[in-house]
Chains A and B, each alone.
Chain A
Amino acid sequence: MLHLGRYFIFLGTLFRNREKFGVYSKLILDECIQIGINSVFIVSIVSTFIGAVTCVQTAYNLVSPLVPLYIISVIVRDSTILELAPTITSVVLSGKVGSNIAGGLGTMRITEQIDALEVMGINSSSYLVLPKVVASMIMFPLLVILAGFLSIYGGYIAGTVAGIITQEDYIYGLRSDFKPFSITFALIKSVVFAFLISTISSFKGYYTSGGALEVGQASTAAVTNSCIAVLGADFLLAQLLL
């Protein structure tokens, strides 16, 4: 409970004594590259394979000849958009981005760079963390859209190349009984997950004390806590919005 209280106080400090907008715009752009562009490769690889595996495993489980084949792509589509693209992408990003944020801030803390900012009268948490949070909330939805697209495409490639499903059936299944709210739901999830991952990782990194060992521990804690928060929020959002 003490950590939770400190976390909320920390969130409050992000919006107190902010710097000029011009200062943040460049920092946000830099963070967008760091968090978003630099994660495209890993997100692409993971989502393509997950889509492919989902297609193959769904086909493996559909043993009844009464179930039409296009159901495979319906399942790939729905599981991808509703769950796999936003959640798995966020779990992957909590590892990549979360550890990067916590490690970076932790190192800045132990090398007195954060103290140097404070001494200059700059709100260090706002200056360092706010751009990361905003950039994450901008880039995560874009990465989730990319992941969703590549996952469905991965399923298509795996299904057609392996002869599991025809192109026509797959595309028919993608269009069948499609609910546009699924996309909205996925994007809402990605924004919430982005906020959780960036703030929890920043919190862990910002309050690191000690040396290199503690920076490593902060990174590990950031990833673990972010993953748990993402999964908890995933369940809550599903209950509230579906």
Chain B
Amino acid sequence: MIEIKNIHKTFGDRTILEGVSGTFQPGDTSLIIGGSGTGKSVLLKCMIGLIQPEQGQVLYNGRDFLTGDEDTQKAIRREMGVLFQGGALFDSKTVRENVRFPLDMLTEMSSAEKNERADFCLQRVGLEAAAERMPSEISGGMKKRVGIARAIVMNPKYLFCDEPNSGLDPLTAIKIDELIKEITDEFRITTVVITHDMNSMLEIGEKIMFLYRGRKLWEGTSETITQSHVKELNEFIYANKLLRDTTQE
């Protein structure tokens, strides 16, 4: 379980996050939604330790990640898998080498074992045939899938996805969503997804947190989100014409 408590972050005189708190349960796909510039990505970066908030706590099964000692932070990092917005694949390495990379750096496994594990993860995301290709030779959707394979190669307990659907066509976006959901259920991972994609919200969002101007304005499930009376949330959801029309019907 991940708990975030009272996260505050400012850049200069701009307040980005203002006392955001929440809980993310194992086996759930939790979504953090909100418009551009509401602090979603900053919150994610605070949770994975890329940005240090001025105030607040991030607890992984009760262990404080931000103020914990080096060993605690290292141990928690080993339990994390992160899918970055553009995949963040290493350009100079093949797809298999990218997936193998965490094993190379963080484990004492033999080369054969590493390859076997990397191939299993690539197979899991349906990319075993692309193992020898370079990141520049594969599509955006494939990069995301390789990113997922790399994120799960260390058997993480926590999976973070930063806008996994951005820049993808609707069909590929759905496939990525389904993959994230399947992996979350299969390995009982605590998954946190940052998105502003309404399809994702309805498809995979078991628990949803809505951020507005750095503050948590609403929290609930995909079933209850359409009944919300929060004006800002409704404006955000029904900006999508299709969703607006469907709900009105």
Contact, CB under 8 Å: B102 / A120: yes
Q: Which of A108, A118, A122 contacts B105 (CB 8 A)?
A: A122
Q: Which of B49, B74, B88, B106 contacts A116 (CB 8 A)?
A: B88
B161-220 contacts to A, CB under 8 A, are none
- Give every chain A residue within 8 A of B106 (Cβ-Cβ): 120-121
- Give every chain A residue within 8 A of B50 (Cβ-Cβ): 115, 118-119
Contact, CB under 8 Å: A115 / B88: yes
Query: B75-113 vs A: 1/0 string, CB under 8 Å?
Result: 001101010111011110000000001100110000000
- Give every chain B residue within 8 A of A122 (Cβ-Cβ): 105
Q: Which of B48, B91, B105 contacts A19 (CB 8 A)?
A: B105
Number of A residues with CB within 8 Å of any CB on chain B: 14
Known contacts A112-B85, A112-B88, A113-B91; decide if A119 and B48 are in contact (CB<8 Å): yes
Known contacts A121-B77, A121-B78; decide if A116 and B84 are in contact (CB<8 Å): yes
Docked Cα-Cα span, A210 to B78, in Å, equals 28
Q: Is the interface of A mostly helix, strand, loop or mixed?
A: helix
Number of B residues with CB within 8 Å of any CB on chain A: 21
Docked Cα-Cα span, A119 to B82, in Å, equals 8
- Give every chain B residue within 8 A of A19 (Cβ-Cβ): 105
Known contacts A23-B105, A115-B50, A116-B82; decide if A121 and B74 are in contact (CB<8 Å): yes
Nearest A residue to B73 by beta-carbon distance?
Answer: A121
Docked Cα-Cα span, A120 to B82, in Å, equals 9
Residues of chain B whose beta carbon lies under 8 Å from any beta carbon of chain A: 45, 48-50, 73-74, 77-78, 80, 82, 84-86, 88-91, 101-102, 105-106
- Which 5 residue pairs of A and B lie closest in terms of their CB atoms, listed nearest first? A121-B77, A112-B88, A116-B88, A112-B84, A119-B82
- With A120-B105, A121-B77 already in contact, 15 other A-B pairs whose C-beta atoms are closer than 8 Å: A107-B91, A111-B86, A111-B88, A112-B84, A112-B85, A112-B88, A113-B89, A113-B90, A116-B84, A118-B49, A118-B50, A119-B50, A119-B80, A120-B77, A122-B105
Some 27 contacts from A to B, beta carbons below 8 A apart, are A19-B105, A107-B91, A108-B91, A111-B86, A111-B91, A112-B84, A112-B85, A112-B86, A113-B89, A113-B91, A115-B45, A115-B50, A115-B88, A116-B82, A116-B88, A116-B90, A118-B50, A119-B48, A119-B49, A119-B77, A119-B80, A119-B82, A120-B101, A120-B102, A120-B106, A121-B78, A122-B105
